[in-house]
Structure 1
Amino acid sequence: MARPKPSPFDKLKTVAENRRARFDYSIEDKYEAGIALQGTEVKALRAGEASIAESYAEVHDGEVYLVNANIPEFSHGNRFNHEPRRPRKLLLHEREIARLLGATERKGMTLVPLSIYFNRQGRAKVELALAKGRQAQDKREYVKDREWQRDKARIMRERG
C-alpha cells in the first residue's frame, strides 16, 4: 500500500522566495518552521519587504537560527525599529532539530531557506530545506534535464 502524500505547506501570502537555492542545491527534505520576530519585523514582512537570497540556517546550542536574512526597517517604526540582519530563532520540534543537526554534521548538508510566507492563521513561517550543494557539472546536467522535460512536454502538446 502506498504511503499517503504529505500535505503541502499552507501558503497564503509569499513574502520572500529564494529561487536560486533550487538551482544551487539538490533539495533532500523540506521543513516548515515558525520565526521568532520582534515588533516591527512583522509589519515589514506584511509590507512584502524581505530578502533571503544569501541567508542560511544553522543549529547552535540545540536551537536553529536563520542567519543573514534581511528584513529592512519598517518605515513608521521610529526608535522601536529592529536590526535588519539579526539572527532570528526558528521554531521547530526537538526531534526535527536533532534530525537537522545530525544531517548537517555527518552528511555535510546545508540548511537553506526556500521561502518566507504567511499561513492561513496569519503566522510568519519559513520553508526550510535540507540540501546538498551542487557542483558545476551537476548544475549543467540539471539545466539539460529541465530543458529536455520542457521540450518533451511541448512535443507531446503539439502531437496531441
Structure 2
Amino acid sequence: MAKDNKFDKVINIKNRKASFQFEFVDTYVAGMVLKGTEIKSIREAKVSLNEAFCLFLDGELYVRQMHISPYSMAASYNHVAIRDRKLLLSKKELEKLETKSQEKGLTIIPVRIFINDRGMAKMEIALGRGKKSQDKRQDLKEKDAKREIQRMAFD
C-alpha cells in the first residue's frame, strides 16, 4: 500500500527582483513563526515577497512587509495580511548575521519561501550587497549571451 503524502504540491515562492538588485554573499534557511491560517495561505501560494525585508529587533530576526493573503475559508479567526513575522535561526547564525548586517552596504533579503518534506514552511534569506546599475547591465549582457549560445546549439 502506497503511503499517502498530503504535501505533494510543491510550493516555491520566489522574490524575483532580489537576484537582480542584490549580489548574494551568504544564504540561510530559516523557519517562520506563523498562525494557522497563514500556513494555509502559503500552501495556496498566496504570498508576496516583493517589498519584504528582514531586520533585527531585540536580538531576534523578523521579516517585515511580507504579504500573506487572508485564508478564504477562515471565518472569524483570520490573520492580518502584513505584520512582522519572527524567523527562527540558531543563536550562532543570528549573531553572525547581526554583525555582518551592520557592515556598510549589506542587508538581509528574503529570497524564497518553500515547504519542506515535513510540511514546515521555511524561508531562504540572503545576506546581500546592492548592485550598481553597471553591474545590472553586465548581468543582462551575460544572460543574453547565454541565450544566444543556447539558440545556436539547437540550430
Please state which band the TM-score falls in when normalised by the shorter chain.
0.7 to 0.9
Percentage of pairs with the same residue: 35
Aligned residue for 1:48?
Answer: 45
**How far did residue 15 of structure 1 move?**
4.2
- State the match for 1:58 in structure 2: 55
Q: What count of residue pairs does the alignment treat as equivalent?
A: 147
Matched, 1:128 2:125: yes
The AA in structure 2 aligned to 1:122 is G
Match of 1:32 in 2: 29
User: Unpaired segments of 5 or more residues in structure 1?
Assistant: 1-11
Equivalent residue for 2:4?
none
TM-score normalised by length of structure 1 = 0.85
Q: For residue 81 of structure 1, what is the aligned residue in structure 2?
A: 78
2:93 aligned residue (93, 96, 100): 96
- Distance (Å, rounded) in 1 between the aligned partners of 2:138 and 2:28: 26
Question: Whole-Å Cα distance in 2 between the matches of residues 15 and 44 of structure 1?
Answer: 13
Match of 2:139? 142
1:153, CA displacement in angstroms?
4.2
SS of corresponding position for 1:106: coil
Distance 1:108 1:98 in 2: 18
Normalised by the length of structure 2, the TM-score is: 0.88
RMSD: 1.6
Tell whether the 8 Å contact from 1:51 to 1:69 is kept in structure 2 after alignment. yes
SS of equivalent to 2:76: helix
CA shift for structure 1 position 70: 0.3
Q: Deviations over 1:22-43 (max 9, x none)?
A: 1111111110000000121011
For residue 80 of structure 1, give the secondary structure of its aligned residue in structure 2.
Answer: coil
Q: What amino acid sits opposite 1:26 in the alignment? A: E
Q: Kindly provide the amino acid, as one letter, of the partner of residue 102 in structure 1.
A: T
CA shift, 1:149, in A, is: 2.8
Asked if structure 1 preserves the Cα contact closer than 8 Å seen for 2:55 and 2:62, the reply is yes
Residue in structure 2 matched with residue 19 of structure 1 by the alignment: 16
C-alpha contact (below 8 Å) 1:14/1:115 kept by paired residues: no
Equivalent residues of 2:54, 2:62 under 8 A apart: yes
One-letter code aligned to 2:56: V
What amino acid is aligned across from residue 94 of structure 1 in structure 2?
A: K
Superposition misfits of 4+ residues, deviation over 6 angstroms: none
Amino acid at match of 2:71: F
Any conservation in 2 of the 1:15–1:46 contact (CA below 8 Å)?
no
